[in-house]
Amino acid sequence: MSKRDFLTTAGMTRHELDDLLDLATRIKGKRPGQVLGGKTLGMLFFQPSLRTRVSFEVGMVQLGGHCINLSSDDLYELEPNEQTIMDGRAEEHVKDAALTLSRYVDALGIRAAARTSTWEHDRQELLLRSYARHASVPVINLETVFEHPCQALADVLTMRENLVSLKSRKLTLMWCNHPEPKSLGPTHSVLQLAALMGMDVTLAHPLGFDIDHEVLARSKTAASDAGGSVRVSNDREEACKGAEVMYARSWGCTKYWDDNEREAMVKRSLQGWRVDEQLMATTNNALLMHPLPVRRNVAATDAVLDGERSRIYDQAANRAHVQKALLMQLLK
Amino acid sequence: MSKRDFLTTAGMTRHELDDLLDLATRIKGKRPGQVLGGKTLGMLFFQPSLRTRVSFEVGMVQLGGHCINLSSDDLYELEPNEQTIMDGRAEEHVKDAALTLSRYVDALGIRAAARTSTWEHDRQELLLRSYARHASVPVINLETVFEHPCQALADVLTMRENLVSLKSRKLTLMWCNHPEPKSLGPTHSVLQLAALMGMDVTLAHPLGFDIDHEVLARSKTAASDAGGSVRVSNDREEACKGAEVMYARSWGCTKYWDDNEREAMVKRSLQGWRVDEQLMATTNNALLMHPLPVRRNVAATDAVLDGERSRIYDQAANRAHVQKALLMQLLK
Amino acid sequence: MSKRDFLTTAGMTRHELDDLLDLATRIKGKRPGQVLGGKTLGMLFFQPSLRTRVSFEVGMVQLGGHCINLSSDDLYELEPNEQTIMDGRAEEHVKDAALTLSRYVDALGIRAAARTSTWEHDRQELLLRSYARHASVPVINLETVFEHPCQALADVLTMRENLVSLKSRKLTLMWCNHPEPKSLGPTHSVLQLAALMGMDVTLAHPLGFDIDHEVLARSKTAASDAGGSVRVSNDREEACKGAEVMYARSWGCTKYWDDNEREAMVKRSLQGWRVDEQLMATTNNALLMHPLPVRRNVAATDAVLDGERSRIYDQAANRAHVQKALLMQLLK
């Protein structure tokens, strides 16, 4: 299959990343016109979306194209497993949906970010991978529990705009508290790109909230290849000292992935894991980043989210720009 | 902030209203072309919509732009209150949603017309006002329980098309029965514009169904300034005598705003409050108007709704025209 | 009323059908440009949709137009019966919705394919017919329990592409098993067109699963007029021998239309009614067709659905092409 998908930041080369960010920067200044005239992107959302939905739709419109939005409410249940006898609830196989949609649209975006089982199961991104395998058009990952590569592109563009060169800059990816279990998508995807850029990354989280071991291992290797580093710290205060970028985001406990109550119990003692002015004062005048939506005064205080070093809305705005660049690369 | 919102008909000047209606009239005849090419309007619906949704979407398409429709089903719960510790159900603050959307779209429309609490609470339109305060792009009121200004623009255009000059023309805004409690939005918004135009308005409703006292007071003043008048009558038959426009619409009882059962009980004896041919015969050959959706044979009979003096579909059609004019003023 | 609707394949002439298929073939090769620029199609879905929704939306975009998608979730309940006192749950009459939408959009598509009552009731397509009667713009049937004419157009185009001339070609329309009761729409609509083309049709189904008697009678007449034939067989194996096209699709039992449990009980002994390689081997190297969604390994096996004689994705793709031709005829 020669079609290009965009499912992960793991396989990207530095050259590919630079190309994409450079294109995003160029089209940010002036609109590139109707370069995707008549082209359509189908988006399937199996969970709610605000930024992803609107930034892709606006992006396609500005390029002369069109988005078709299918939420799970518009659809019946779909079967992702092969060779099943479909006498249950699923009305159609993912294969047939993917191949049908491939005859109509020019690319497919899939958000499939539900917790459904154990981490070992969910980390395989079966629904996304099933669409990617069967579709004959490019498939874009609009967030799974494992990756959120479009968010990470926007994040790296935002860092580049503020710090110019990212090599050896100190980034702290900090876990923060949240009343609900969250996906590991943004954290994994941005870690992999920060490593590729040669940043010095500190991954800060409480004991028991390790990220995926494979993502961590390959990020360490990638960072080392690029002249940077990735280390883990379970000491919130130590981890933030001297940071030039503070990237806050909650994620779920992979050990108790199928046990929300146990995760909630563990998190009761972790309310100190939030970003406030006191913590920010220990950094090297760090930028404050968060991929949104954010639980105000739980993950981070109003003061830092609304402070002058906050870049949370620039991150959101850059979603549209990087995605336009991505769509131009995939569809033009 | 220099951005212009369109939240209410209360603050409009006669000059602004005439400008907008004149523009609507001009573009009604011939299409103005792609004047909003590449522009997007984001619409958030927290209640169902037919006319508003479709008329805005068609309007944007005809002007070369695009609507992005977000219903509450597409979204998680949003927090409207400031400085909250967001550890409850709301996944994102209105502030963050508004500022994010402001980076993507060129204007935002909000329908937030739910009964949530007492009248004193709901009349403040907290959700709409929160979006307007935080968004950096123009915000359009797509209906609250307090105002429905786009409907009122279409209504006044419809009256102007039929009566030419509205000064001193007799308009009866008549409450009519309905199995469910309804918002006061259309009534308030059209009353304020009719007052601005110097019409002689009779507000007819049963005892206990007073409209908001501030809206009434400022409409009386505005009418008086414009050479017209606003009076209230609790006598349905007296109120309709000699009317040149009969505008029927139900609205809720503000006194029992948080007690639907009590309102329903009161309304059991009010089934006579509907418009029929007998009542229309006492008017001065009045036009029959209703903002739709209408409960046929409850609010008004088939005979009058389908009669030759009915303008209900012209009102609906004019929604698209006035809104196109509004969008051109706000976005061009 | 001079407006043209597209509600059924029953009334089509051979000339009309050829015209439409010829146009579809012409535009399939090269895009006809912005011939529907500024035009809008409103689609009301009272049941979920994938193919219909996306193929129409893509079709309109490729012709320069726009689709507005309204699902039943976006709407309140609508009243289809005339002269009702609307004091129940329905918030608006179909008449008012249809006439309002007619002032906004250039055509309306309606999917209203729910089982609601007995077959004698549901076969009347009351909701679709109510929209068609009241709307002043063309109405397109997007599937009822009685007809699915857009699917049938795509099916006939697919047969014509493969067999060139359809006259006297052997088509077997075969009932197959399904865990849920299904509509008769695709079967009725394609049978009527196959008859019009003069094909030799065998309608194969278990005892008790007769299609609508009027559809059968008029198809027999039409086939006979065109030099073809329609016969019914309750012997699955006999019916498939020598077939040049095997068209599989489940449908509901009209006798037990309002009794799902009884239908389910009857179907327990009908699991042999599926298409597999053994059955296909008895045909005259038949094409395998199915309108999708298909229950894999219940209605037909993976082997035949994924086999080289399968045309299921071509059928789906042709939906977009025939519908573009239809929209051009109705709206240009």
Sign of the Cα pseudo-torsion (C3, C7, C11, C17, in order): positive
**In terms of CA atoms, which chain C residue is nearest residue B313?**
C100
Residue among B51, B71, B302 minimizing CB distance to C100: B51
- The topology (CATH level 3) of B152-315 is Rossmann fold (3.40.50)
Residues contacting C228, CB < 8 A, separation 6+: C167, C168, C194, C195, C197, C198, C199, C200, C201
Question: Which residues of chain C are in CATH 3.40.50.1370 domains?
Answer: 14-148+319-331, 149-315
- Whether the CB of C34 is below 8 Å from some CB of chain A: the reply is no
Chain B residues with beta carbon closer than 8 angstroms to that of A295: 86-87, 91
- Whether the CB of C164 is below 8 Å from some CB of chain B: the reply is no
- Whether the CB of A295 is below 8 Å from some CB of chain B: the reply is yes
**In terms of CA atoms, which chain A residue is nearest residue C315?**
A100
Residues of chain A scoring pLDDT < 50: 1
Question: Which residues of chain A are in CATH 3.40.50.1370 domains?
Answer: 14-148+319-331, 151-315
Shortest CA gap A191–chain C (Å): 36
pLDDT at position C127 over 80: yes
Chain C residues with beta carbon closer than 8 angstroms to that of A100: 50-51, 292, 313, 316-317
**In terms of CA atoms, which chain C residue is nearest residue B50?**
C75
Residue among C40, C73, C100 minimizing CB distance to B50: C100
The percentage of residues in chain B with a pLDDT greater than 90, rounded to a whole number, is 92
What is the average per-residue pLDDT within B73-99?
92
Q: Do C86 and B298 count as a contact with CB atoms less than 8 A apart?
A: yes
Q: Do A96 and C293 count as a contact with CB atoms less than 8 A apart?
A: yes
Using one digit for the tens of pLDDT, what is the confidence trace for B28-79?
A: 978 778 899 989 999 999 888 999 999 999 999 999 999 999 887 777 889 9
Shortest CA gap B244–chain A (Å): 46
**In terms of CA atoms, which chain B residue is nearest residue A302?**
B83
The percentage of residues in chain C with a pLDDT greater than 70, rounded to a whole number, is 99
In angstroms, the CA C11 to CA C7 distance is 9
Identify residue A312 by its one-letter amino acid code.
Answer: I
For residue B331, what are its two tokens?
């976005």
Q: Do A54 and B104 count as a contact with CB atoms less than 8 A apart?
A: yes
pLDDT at position C326 over 60: yes
- Whether the CB of B50 is below 8 Å from some CB of chain C: the reply is yes
Q: Do A104 and C54 count as a contact with CB atoms less than 8 A apart?
A: yes
Please check whether residue B233 is in contact with residue B211, taking contact to mean a CB–CB distance below 8 angstroms: no
Q: Do C91 and B295 count as a contact with CB atoms less than 8 A apart?
A: yes
Chains near A with 3+ CB pairs less than 8 A apart are: B, C
- What pLDDT score was predicted for residue C2? 59
- What pLDDT score was predicted for residue B33? 85
Chain A residues with beta carbon closer than 8 angstroms to that of C320: 103-104
- Whether the CB of B242 is below 8 Å from some CB of chain C: the reply is no
Residue among C31, C49, C54 minimizing CB distance to A42: C54
- Which of B27, B55, B61 to mutate: most C Cβ within 10 Å? B61
Q: Do C73 and A68 count as a contact with CB atoms less than 8 A apart?
A: no
Chain A residues with beta carbon closer than 8 angstroms to that of C295: 86-87, 91
Kind and range of the H or E run holding A101: helix A94-104
Residue among C85, C101, C103 minimizing CB distance to B297: C85
- What pLDDT score was predicted for residue B29? 79
**In terms of CA atoms, which chain A residue is nearest residue B99?**
A313
- Taking a contact as any Cβ pair under 8 Å apart, which residues of chain B between 245 and 274 contact chain C? none
- What pLDDT score was predicted for residue B1? 41
Shortest CA gap B70–chain C (Å): 10
- Whether the CB of A58 is below 8 Å from some CB of chain B: the reply is yes
What is the average per-residue pLDDT within C162-166?
95
Q: Do B48 and C74 count as a contact with CB atoms less than 8 A apart?
A: yes
Shortest CA gap C321–chain B (Å): 23
Q: Do C297 and A84 count as a contact with CB atoms less than 8 A apart?
A: yes
What letter would DSSP give residue C270?
G
- Which of C43, C45, C49, C58 to mutate: most A Cβ within 10 Å? C58
Q: Do B48 and C75 count as a contact with CB atoms less than 8 A apart?
A: yes
Helix (H), strand (E), coil (C) string for chain B: CCCCCECCCCCCCHHHHHHHHHHHHHHHHCCCCCCCCCCEEEEEECCCCCHHHHHHHHHHHHCCCEEEEEEHHHCCCEECCCCCCCCCCCCEEHHHHHHHHHHHCCEEEEEECCCCCCHHHHCCCHHHHHHHHHCCCCEEEEEECCCCHHHHHHHHHHHHHHHCCCCCCEEEEECCCCCCCCCCHHHHHHHHHHHHCCCEEEEECCCCCCCCHHHHHHHHHHHHHCCCEEEEECCHHHHHCCCCEEEECCCCCCCCCCCHHHHHHHHCCCCCCCECHHHHHCCCCCEEECCCCCCECCCECHHHHCCCCECHHHHHHHHHHHHHHHHHHHHC
> Per the omega criterion (within 30 degrees of 0), is the bond before A80 cis?
no
pLDDT band at B2 (very low <50, low <70, confident <90, very high): low
Residues contacting B195, CB < 8 A, separation 6+: B201, B219, B220, B222, B223, B226, B228, B230
Chain A residues with beta carbon closer than 8 angstroms to that of B42: 54
- Whether the CB of B60 is below 8 Å from some CB of chain A: the reply is no
pLDDT at position C248 over 80: yes
Chain B residues with beta carbon closer than 8 angstroms to that of A71: 73-74
Report ipTM (2 d.p.): 0.95
- Taking a contact as any Cβ pair under 8 Å apart, which residues of chain C between 296 and 325 contact chain A? 296-298, 302, 312-313, 316-317, 320
- Whether the CB of B68 is below 8 Å from some CB of chain A: the reply is yes
Give the Cβ contact number of residue B135 at 10 Å: 25
For residue B229, what are its two tokens?
């008048």
pLDDT band at C3 (very low <50, low <70, confident <90, very high): confident
- What pLDDT score was predicted for residue B102? 97
What letter would DSSP give residue A74?
G
Q: Do B74 and A53 count as a contact with CB atoms less than 8 A apart?
A: yes
Question: Which residues of chain B are in CATH 3.40.50.1370 domains?
Answer: 14-148+319-331, 152-315
pLDDT mean across residues, chain B: 95
Shortest CA gap C35–chain B (Å): 14
Q: Do B298 and C74 count as a contact with CB atoms less than 8 A apart?
A: no
- Taking a contact as any Cβ pair under 8 Å apart, which residues of chain C between 71 and 110 contact chain A? 71, 73
- The topology (CATH level 3) of A151-315 is Rossmann fold (3.40.50)
Q: Do A85 and C55 count as a contact with CB atoms less than 8 A apart?
A: no
**In terms of CA atoms, which chain A residue is nearest residue B69?**
A54
Q: Is 3.40.50.1370 the CATH classification of the domain at C14-148+319-331?
A: yes
Please check whether residue A76 is in contact with residue A92, taking contact to mean a CB–CB distance below 8 angstroms: yes
Q: Which CATH superfamily hosts domain C149-315? A: Aspartate/ornithine carbamoyltransferase (3.40.50.1370)
pLDDT at position B177 over 60: yes
Closest CA to A299 of B134, B93, B95: B93
Shortest CA gap C73–chain B (Å): 8
Shortest CA gap B86–chain C (Å): 29
Q: Do A74 and C297 count as a contact with CB atoms less than 8 A apart?
A: no
Give the Cβ contact number of residue C224 at 10 Å: 13
Window from B75-84, B285-294, C150-159 with minimum mean pLDDT: B75-84
